[in-house]
């Protein structure tokens, strides 16, 4: 017996012209699809799949949850209001990573500066994401006072320049300090589970929040990650629960962004499964953020290339995400990723220009 059905858009086409009733637009993006994989999750945890053309999907929406997912997949996403900035989500936008930490996995101990943030904005980043605590595998928590000392001056300087600034933190006190300094988005790798006060802080501030999937704590999350029903199914249901918890805490659903958490309590196989199935997460009805930049999966697939030599793989994963309708791409290499996004946009503009 089917417990739930998850809808995964597939069969992407360049343009909808001439395909009335046969294709649908994906989550308000510039992507169109012609079929859906219906992933039927049984009460016993087994998952079966069938391929259904878009023209027949509405006749297969057998329950309220599946109908809601279809409406979410084919609906748009509201723009993000971050301070004085409006971030449109009808095209992919870049979130630049600014690590104000001495122990990030990706940058060899270099600490981001305000000049780095200004350069990222000039290169085309829509959002500057400032973090003061490494959450790489094996990392230990940082005292909130130290974390505030790292992020507050950087957030204040970047926000004063007019940039849209987010803070990457799990701690309510750090959120409060960053918001007071001008941050306008909270990016929480724990999805508001680490600190009992965090949901209250976000709700009171009324700012957008990223809820990221994770399994376990950074110190131990890579020891034995397990997803009995498959990573895509488990992540989908987990994020669904966290969205509801956030809404119950008073957070506006329209301001919730979801992130599958590539590399957070996942094997290489889990990460690749999620990247292949990202389009299904649009059924949650929230903007989708993907951060696969310089992750270890890239090294695992290419002779254990170190973090600073994973640009090619980072771009490949970013484009895989964009092709499945990701609204936000979180990346270290801003110039190169923005260039890739703009070439992709050029391809889409050409495809979506009617022939005369």
State pLDDT tens for residues 303-343: 999 999 999 999 999 999 999 999 999 999 999 999 999 99
pLDDT at 213 over 80: yes
Q: Is 330 considered catalytic here?
A: yes
For residue 220, what pLDDT is reported? 64
Domains of the chain: 2-74 (no CATH), 80-349 (3.20.20.20)
- 224 or 274, which is more confident? 274
For residue 354, what pLDDT is reported? 85
User: pLDDT of 20-67, one tens digit each?
Assistant: 999 999 999 999 999 999 999 999 999 999 999 999 999 999 899 999
Cβ count within 10 A of residue 37: 17
Q: Worst-scoring range by mean pLDDT, 109-118, 159-168, 231-240, 245-254?
A: 109-118
Tell me if residue 350 falls in helix, strand or coil: helix
Tokens of 214: 């994770």
Does residue 197 contact residue 187 with C-beta atoms inside 8 Å? Answer: no
- 349 or 134, which is more confident? 349
For residue 109, what pLDDT is reported? 57
Strand 85-87 to 93-99 pairing: unpaired
Q: Is 295 considered catalytic here?
A: yes
For residue 107, what pLDDT is reported? 57
The pTM score is 0.95
3-state per-residue secondary structure call for 31-49: CEEEEEEEEEEECCCCEEE
Closest by CA to 31, choosing from 335, 320, 329, 355, is 320
For residue 1, what pLDDT is reported? 64
Cα separation of 181 and 132, whole Å?
A: 14
User: pLDDT of 73-123, one tens digit each?
Assistant: 999 999 999 999 999 999 999 999 999 987 555 555 568 999 999 999 999
- 2 beta partners: 42
- Read off the DSSP letter of residue 74: H
User: pLDDT of 163-180, one tens digit each?
Assistant: 999 999 999 999 999 999
- List the catalytic residue out of 242, 295, 310, 348: 295
Average pLDDT over residues 1-7: 87
For residue 141, what pLDDT is reported? 83
**pLDDT-above-70 percentage for the chain:** 96
For residue 104, what pLDDT is reported? 59
Alpha helix stretches (DSSP H) within the chain: 54-57, 64-74, 114-123, 144-160, 172-181, 198-205, 231-248, 268-276, 296-301, 311-323, 334-351
For residue 140, what pLDDT is reported? 81
For residue 175, what pLDDT is reported? 98
For residue 219, what pLDDT is reported? 65
User: pLDDT of 119-147, one tens digit each?
Assistant: 999 999 999 999 999 877 777 889 999 99
């Amino acid at each position: 017996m089917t417990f739930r059905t998850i809808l995964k858009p597939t069969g992407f086409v360049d343009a909808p012209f001439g395909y009335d009733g046969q294709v649908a637009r994906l989550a308000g993006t510039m992507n169109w699809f012609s079929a859906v994989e219906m992933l039927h999750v049984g009460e016993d945890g087994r998952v079966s799949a069938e391929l259904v053309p878009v023209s027949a999907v509405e006749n297969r929406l057998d329950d309220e949850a599946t109908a809601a997912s279809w409406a979410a997949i084919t609906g748009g996403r509201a723009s993000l209001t971050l301070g004085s900035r409006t971030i449109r989500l009808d095209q992919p936008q870049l979130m630049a990573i600014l690590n104000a930490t001495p122990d990030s996995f990706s940058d060899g101990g270099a600490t981001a500066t305000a000049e780095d943030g200004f350069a990222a904005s000039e290169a085309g980043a829509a959002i500057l994401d400032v973090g003061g605590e490494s959450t790489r595998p094996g990392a230990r928590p940082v005292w909130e006072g130290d974390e505030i000392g790292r992020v507050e001056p950087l957030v204040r300087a970047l926000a004063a320049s007019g940039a849209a600034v987010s803070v990457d933190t799990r701690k309510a006190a750090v959120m409060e300090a960053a918001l007071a300094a001008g941050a306008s988005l909270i990016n929480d790798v724990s999805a508001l589970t680490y600190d009992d006060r965090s949901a209250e802080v976000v709700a009171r501030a009324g700012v957008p929040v990223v809820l990221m999937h994770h399994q376990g704590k950074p110190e131990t999350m890579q020891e034995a990650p397990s997803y009995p029903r498959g990573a895509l199914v488990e992540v989908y249901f987990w994020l669904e629960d966290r969205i509801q918890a956030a809404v119950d805490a008073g957070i506006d659903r329209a301001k919730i962004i979801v992130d599958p958490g590539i590399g957070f309590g996942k094997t290489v196989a889990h990460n690749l499964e999620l990247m292949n199935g990202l389009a299904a997460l649009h059924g949650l009805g929230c903007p989708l953020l993907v951060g696969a930049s310089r992750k270890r999966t890239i090294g695992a697939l290419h002779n254990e290339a170190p973090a600073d030599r994973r640009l090619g793989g980072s771009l490949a994963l970013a484009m895989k995400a964009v092709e499945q309708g990701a609204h936000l791409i979180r990346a270290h290499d801003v110039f190169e990723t923005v260039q890739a996004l703009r070439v992709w946009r050029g391809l889409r503009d050409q495809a979506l220009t009617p022939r005369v």
